[in-house]
Chains A and B, each alone.
Chain A
Amino acid sequence: DGGITQSPKYLFRKEGQNVTLSCEQNLNHDAMYWYRQDPGQGLRLIYYSQIVNDFQKGDIAEGYSVSREKKESFPLTVTSAQKNPTAFYLCASSISGGGLYNEQFFGPGTRLTVL
């Protein structure tokens, strides 16, 4: 059963702590993405990766870090430098980053709450 998984679904952390969100896909997709969604706002791109061992900053990368050591995995770390980390985080993948193949498959999301 192919798909993209994120864990956990809900995550609570104390202010000042780093936290890592998991994203795994078994679709054999080259490209992976992290988005943040706040109430009443669209998805905002945090980081993206077109191939293994390569990733690029999106529009709101400050306070976040990623790694892409394996094709199927793209974890996101929310650091203590992120000023307002409470949000709904979505991971996605696509066959490649190119236009016609950019249909993005999204995971179920992780809702992070920083107390």
Chain B
Amino acid sequence: SQKIEQNSEALNIQEGKTATLTCNYTNYSPAYLQWYRQDPGRGPVFLLLIRENEKEKRKERLKVTFDTTLKQSLFHITASQPADSATYLCALLSGGYQKVTFGTGTKLQVIP
């Protein structure tokens, strides 16, 4: 069956370090992969999209990689700040309609 896995345990890191979050998937052939940020009680906010033929995408302190062989995406936040504390969701787009399927998210806590 199709599955998207994100680390369900919270990730705690020290301010200034690089946070790395993982999104693994099985039985998908996604054309695109997205990352969103969600704060408690609010709707997710889009961060980055990466295509299947792109290895890496950057935006300011954010970097996303997409390895279709490993069926994995890594999401990095460099020089992390307490304001980066949130839940981060990955989402896959596949199928004729480009149906979006979300992972369960990983909660990141940046400690001052």
Contact = CB atoms under 8 A, between A and B. Distances in A.
A103 B43 CA distance: 13
Contacts of A45: 99-101
B8 to A, nearest CB: 7
B42 A104 contact: no
A109 B46 CA distance: 15
A25 interface: no
B74 to A, nearest CB: 18
Interface string A34-71: 01000011111100101000001000000000000000
> Could you tell me the dominant secondary structure of chain B's interface residues?
strand
Interface in B65-106: 89, 93, 97-105
A50 B100 CA distance: 13
B34 A42 contact: no
Interface residues on A, range: 20 to 34
B98 A97 contact: yes
B49 interface: yes
Given A40-B104, A42-B4, A43-B102, A103 B97 contact: no
B46 A99 contact: no
Interface string A62-98: 0000000000000000000000000000101000011
Interface residues of B, number: 25
Interface string A102-113: 111111110100
B100 A100 contact: no
Nearest to B44: A106
Contacts of A98: 98
B112 interface: no
A14 to B, nearest CB: 24
Contacts of B111: none
Interface of B: 4, 8, 31-32, 34, 36, 41-46, 49, 51, 89, 93, 97-105
Interface of A: 33, 35, 40-45, 48, 50, 56, 90, 92, 97-100, 102-109, 111
